[in-house]
């Protein structure tokens, strides 16, 4: 029983972090109709940044973590400006460019950081007894609460602020939004940077728990894509529910069915969604 | 109209003479090593041209092309190893398996739009890699599956001609498709989906058809490749391989018949020269592909055409 609860808790913690990463993808799809295949690489870069900032340069985690995310945000802005913007309206080229970019970043990571898995130091140490059932690492508990704070901030940003309102308006009707005076190109750029930063946020939060490697990026991207399809393209709520569902199924499946096939469960979910409910749990049914 | 007629007549002429040259020249002048490079280049011509059929001509980006070649290679290889089937027969079963899986994936994703196809094919490649590495009692995992070759007596020249004939047949087939009624609907779907569907073209059906045909071709190319190397490894269906095929099509010129052919020879021969730099060549090809996709989306062939006029290539 306590074993089951522990796997379930693992699933929930990973699920919340999945949700952050998936919202990054969803935000970009929603506003720009672009899938960023380099999403996983941004996650990996953030993990390595935080590792090198804290280990090689001795920056305390409290500073190293936001700094890493900020670097990824800047990289995201740069990507949008130089590579993505010229492809607007040409879905095929945006897919090709971000895919090529993911390969470029992956081999760049291999050259810069080497092939070895790296793990930034834990922010906190020790473990806590959860209601007498099992012991759970403090790092994971802290990661969970930080993720919740990040999720709440994103929801606030998108639902309540002027910025979020403009983003939602653009994803509904770009011309009309531009007409009433929103600088839609600038909004794209910021939204893309924000999407990248969310990949980075997921990376820095998860890196102390699961070490990052340059080759680990494709499963990160895939997880985010599966969550987005499961939740429904462009739906924030869908990302949270989808992230939790995927996290729980993957962890229980890996524990009780087969750990080698951990990533297969996600793909099975993807196929089932495409067969039975292709618009996702909270997406809008196509016209 | 006259110009178009001319273009149609010149195109097969130049490609035809190029392949006659390929048939007559290399076996007697090239070393075993360069003959091997030529065989690999021909494999990439098949891969890049068939990928171009779906990406360049219907605008759908599949990331499972290498995976389908892996299906072809593994199905054919396993049939030959475990059931003792002749490779000549087994490759057709492998091709059929790729076509069948392509039809299934295409049917599931294409009605939802291009983004879904790209996502799902990417997932499919990853999953296939995981299955192949884990099911090592059937696939020998990362060690690679040793398979019999096509010929009792191993000779590079026989393989060279086998690959040349297969490539030529495949290219003729692709050429016939894109210059037929079906090819016209492909381009109609690419240029204006709404207009195409309102003039009575079932856009989803057309795309699924293109995807299935293209996947089957990848399966055939992969089957040939596997029985040539006689060792099938998870590198064949890897995303790295997918990237190479994509880079060849993009650098050569997507959406043109000649582009992927040029790109395949260019990149494969170039990669032999920069092999000593190891992993850097992926980075280099990636950067070149990125710059090409950004500044010259019509590729090398497009640049050539712009500079030296349309007379030579199309």
pLDDT of residue B4: 45
Residue that has been written with the tokens 């400006």 in this structure: A81
Residue A128, SS3? strand
Interface contact A91-B115, CB threshold 8 A:
yes
Domain residue spans of chain B: 10-308
Nearest CA in chain B to A278: B112
Query: Of B123, B66, B91, B103, which Cα lies nearest the Cα of B248?
Result: B66
Per-residue pLDDT of B37-83, as tens digits, reads: 889 999 999 999 999 998 888 888 999 999 999 999 999 999 988 88
Candidates B205, B229, B228, B225; CA nearest to B217 is B225
Per-residue pLDDT, B3: 44
Task: Please tell me the distance in Å from A52's CA to the nearest CA on chain B.
Answer: 23
- Look over chain B and give the mean of its residue pLDDT values, rounded to a whole number: 84
* pLDDT 10s digits, B267-289: 888 888 887 777 788 888 889 88
* Beta strand A134-137 pairing with A127-130: antiparallel
**List of residues 6+ apart from A128 with CB closer than 8 A:** A135, A136, A138, A141
| Residue B1 scores a pLDDT above 60 | no
Contact B130 A110 (CB under 8 A): no
pLDDT for A167 equals 85
From chain A, the residues in CB contact with B250 under 8 A are 96, 100
Listed in order, strand segments (DSSP E) in chain B are 145-146, 231-232
CA distance A171 to A189: 14
pLDDT value of position B65: 94
Q: Which pLDDT value is given to residue B314?
A: 47
**Is the model's pLDDT at B228 over the cut of 60?**
yes
Q: Compute the average pLDDT of residues B193-222.
A: 86
ipTM score: 0.87
Residue B69 confidence (pLDDT): 95
pLDDT tens digits, B58-70 = 888 999 999 999 9
pLDDT attached to residue B5: 43
By CA distance, what is A25's nearest residue in B? Answer: B119
Of A35, A110, A261, the CB nearest to B130: A261
Q: Which residues of A touch B124 (CB under 8 A)?
A: 267
CB-count exposure of residue B111 (10 Å: 0-12, 13-18, 19+): middle
| Chain A residues interacting with chain B (CB cutoff of 8 angstroms) | 29, 33, 35, 37, 82-83, 86, 91-93, 95-97, 99-101, 103-104, 107-108, 110-111, 218-219, 221-222, 225-226, 229, 233, 260-261, 263-264, 266-267, 270-271, 274-275, 278-279, 286
The predicted-structure confidence for B155-193, as pLDDT tens digits, reads as follows 888 888 899 989 999 998 998 888 888 888 887 777 777
How confident is the model at residue B41, as a pLDDT? 93
Structural domains of chain A, with CATH: 2-276 (1.10.3470)
Q: A118 vs chain B: nearest CA distance in angstroms? A: 20
Planar angle of CA B74, B78, B84, nearest 5 degrees: 145
| Topology, domain B10-308 | ABC transporter involved in vitamin B12 uptake, BtuC (1.10.3470)
The string of pLDDT tens digits covering residues B252-261 is 988 888 889 9
Could you list the pLDDT tens digit for every one of the 287 residues in chain A? 788 888 888 899 999 999 999 999 998 888 888 889 999 999 999 999 999 998 888 888 888 899 999 999 999 999 999 888 888 877 788 888 999 999 999 989 988 888 888 888 888 887 777 777 777 888 888 889 999 999 999 999 988 888 888 888 888 888 888 888 888 888 889 999 999 999 999 999 998 888 888 888 888 999 999 999 998 887 888 899 999 999 999 889 888 888 777 888 888 888 888 888 888 888 776 54
Report d(CA A141, CA A103) in Å as an integer.
34
Contact status of B130 with chain A (Cβ, < 8 Å) = yes
Chain A residue numbers touching B189 (CB-CB < 8 A): none
Fill in the DSSP letter of residue A55.
Answer: I
User: Does B278 touch chain A if contact means CB atoms closer than 8 Å?
Assistant: no
């Amino acid at each position: 029983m306590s074993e089951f609860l522990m796997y379930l808790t693992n699933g929930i913690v990973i699920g919340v972090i999945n949700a952050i990463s998936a919202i990054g993808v969803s935000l970009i799809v929603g506003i720009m109709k672009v899938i960023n295949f380099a999403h996983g690489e941004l996650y990996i870069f953030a993990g390595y940044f935080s590792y090198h900032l804290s280990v090689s340069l001795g920056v305390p985690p409290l500073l190293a973590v936001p700094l890493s995310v900020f670097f990824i945000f800047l990289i995201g802005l740069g990507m949008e400006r130089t590579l993505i913007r010229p492809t607007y309206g040409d879905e095929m080229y945006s897919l090709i460019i971000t895919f090529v970019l993911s390969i470029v970043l992956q081999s760049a990571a291999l050259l810069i950081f080497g092939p070895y898995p790296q793990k930034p130091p834990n922010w906190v140490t020790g473990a806590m007894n959860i209601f007498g059932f099992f012991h759970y690492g403090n790092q994971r508990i802290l990661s969970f609460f930080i993720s919740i704070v990040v999720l709440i901030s994103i929801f606030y940003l998108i639902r309540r602020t002027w910025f979020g309102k403009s983003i939602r308006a653009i994803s509904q009707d770009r011309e009309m939004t531009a007409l009433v005076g929103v600088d839609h190109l600038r909004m794209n750029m910021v939204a893309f940077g924000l999407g990248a930063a969310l990949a980075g946020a997921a990376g820095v939060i998860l890196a102390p728990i699961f070490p990052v490697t340059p080759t680990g990026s494709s499963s990160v991207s895939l997880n985010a894509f599966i969550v987005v399809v499961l939740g429904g393209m462009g739906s924030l709520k869908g990302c949270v529910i989808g992230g939790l569902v995927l996290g729980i199924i993957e962890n229980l499946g890996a524990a009780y069915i087969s750990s080698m096939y951990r990533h297969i469960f996600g793909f099975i979910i993807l196929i089932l969604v495409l067969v039975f409910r292709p618009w996702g749990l909270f997406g809008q049914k196509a016209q | 109209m006259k110009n178009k007629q001319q273009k149609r007549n010149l195109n097969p002429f130049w490609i035809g003479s190029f392949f006659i040259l390929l048939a007559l020249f290399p076996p007697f002048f090239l070393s075993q090593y360069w003959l091997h490079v030529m065989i690999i280049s021909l494999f990439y011509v098949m891969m890049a041209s068939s990928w171009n059929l779906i990406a360049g001509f219907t605008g759908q980006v599949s990331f499972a092309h290498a995976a389908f070649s892996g299906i072809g290679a593994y199905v054919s290889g396993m049939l030959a190893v475990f059931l003792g089937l002749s490779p000549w027969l087994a490759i057709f079963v492998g091709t059929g398996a790729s076509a069948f899986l392509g039809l299934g994936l295409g049917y599931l994703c294409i009605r939802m739009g291009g983004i879904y196809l790209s996502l799902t094919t990417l997932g499919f490649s990853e999953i296939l890699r995981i299955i192949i590495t884990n099911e090592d009692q059937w696939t020998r995992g990362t060690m690679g599956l040793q398979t019999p070759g096509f010929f009792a007596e191993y000779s590079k020249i026989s393989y060279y001609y086998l690959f040349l004939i297969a490539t030529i047949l495949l290219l003729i087939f692709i050429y016939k498709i894109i210059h037929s009624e079906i090819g016209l609907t492909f381009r109609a779907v690419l240029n204006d989906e709404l207009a195409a569907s309102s003039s009575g073209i079932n856009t989803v059906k057309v795309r699924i058809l293109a995807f299935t045909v293209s996947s089957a071709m990848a399966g055939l190319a992969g089957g040939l490749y596997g029985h040539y190397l006689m060792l099938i490894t998870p590198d064949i269906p890897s995303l790295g391989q997918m990237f190479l095929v994509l880079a060849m099509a993009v650098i050569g010129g997507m959406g043109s018949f000649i582009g992927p052919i040029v790109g395949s020879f260019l990149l494969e021969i170039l990669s032999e020269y920069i092999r000593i730099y190891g992993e850097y060549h992926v980075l280099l090809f990636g950067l070149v592909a990125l710059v090409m996709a950004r500044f010259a989306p019509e590729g090398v062939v497009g640049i050539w055409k712009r500079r030296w006029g349309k007379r030579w290539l199309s």
